[in-house]
Structure 1
Amino acid sequence: MKSLVQISLVVLLSMAASGCVYIDGERVTSDDWREDQRVNREMISQLDLGVSRSSVVDKLGTPTDSEAFTRDGAEVRVLFYRTQRKHSDGQTTRDEMTPVVFKNDMLVGWGDSAYRDFRS
């Protein structure tokens, strides 16, 4: 019994020292976020204006954050995708994401200027 405890402790410490993280049984390395951000930037740059929100979500996946509001009688939805790491604090903030803006479920723009146009 004592050796099982010792082996378990060694395995646990080895995993902690190696920097491995498992989320829902899937190994996540420290470089995964870099690849995710690169892919998000690439996919966003290939979007076509006028496509549906569901088409964009199918292509980019679930956004990191989102919001919805009405503007001049139109429904506006903004999906935020992580595209640039700025802070090493373990938190993802809006300044690290690219907003993708939809008016009545159709893509009308992305980036900070498109977002500001609809928020102001």
Structure 2
Amino acid sequence: MNKKYVLLALALYGLFVFLVINFYKGSPSSMTWEDREEFNRQYIAKLVPGQHTLEQILTDLGTPDSTEAIRKNNNYYQVTFYRTQHVKSDGITTQEECSYLLFVNDILTGSGLGIGYPDNWQVIDNHTKN
């Protein structure tokens, strides 16, 4: 009789593990800051320009740590910043601790480290020259 309970418990545990692995989708907003940094870093590393929309990124990564937007030459440019590396424990997330994602008309067109993000929207000026 005890063997039946043990086997039943193991089967239920296995079912629970299977369901969690296959159906639970973790949210970056519920992660610790360390886990979220790692999640953001891995996610951003897999992105391919031209194949992702702003809406998809916001759904998968959640609210950005910082964002900027501008309309220029009939195009809408938005830059989102997601924290991907820890620099200093001061309770403030700076651009140097982030990676940026550049969207033109809501399509991902580029990314890079926040510390390399040009001042005064030079990234957009450079993009419009190409």
| TM tier relative to shorter chain | 0.5 to 0.7
Q: Which residue in 2 is equivalent to 1:107?
A: 108
Paired amino acid for 2:41: R
Instruction: Note the aligned Cα RMSD (angstroms).
Output: 2.1
Instruction: Report deviation, 1:32.
Output: 1.9
Q: Which moved more, 1:105-114 or 1:64-73?
A: 105-114
Tell me the distance in 2 between the aligned counterparts of 1:82 and 1:119.
Answer: 24
Matches within 5 A, 1:12-23: none
Which secondary structure does the structure 2 equivalent of 1:108 belong to?
strand
Which secondary structure does the structure 1 equivalent of 2:81 belong to?
strand
Tell me the matched-pair count. Answer: 90
User: In structure 2, do the counterparts of structure 1 residues 99 and 119 end up closer, same or farther at CA, with 3 Å as the change threshold?
Assistant: farther
Which secondary structure does the structure 2 equivalent of 1:37 belong to?
helix
Q: Which moved more, 1:62-71 or 1:75-84?
A: 62-71
Question: Is the CA contact (8 Å cut-off) linking 1:80 and 1:94 kept in structure 2?
Answer: yes
Q: Which residue in 2 is equivalent to 1:36?
A: 36
Between Structure 1 and Structure 2, which shows a larger proportion of helix residues? 2
Deviation digits for residues 11-53 of structure 1 (CA, Å, limit 9, x no counterpart) = xxxxxxxxxxxxxxxxxxxx92111100000000111211211
Tell me the distance in 1 between the aligned counterparts of 2:94 and 2:61.
Answer: 19
User: In structure 2, do the counterparts of structure 1 residues 119 and 34 end up closer, same or farther at CA, with 3 Å as the change threshold?
Assistant: farther
Q: Which residue in 2 is equivalent to 1:64?
A: 65
Which secondary structure does the structure 1 equivalent of 2:40 belong to?
helix
Between Structure 1 and Structure 2, which shows a larger proportion of strand residues? 1
TM-score by length of 1: 0.66
Percent sequence identity is: 33
Structure 2 residue 92 is matched with structure 1 residue 86: no
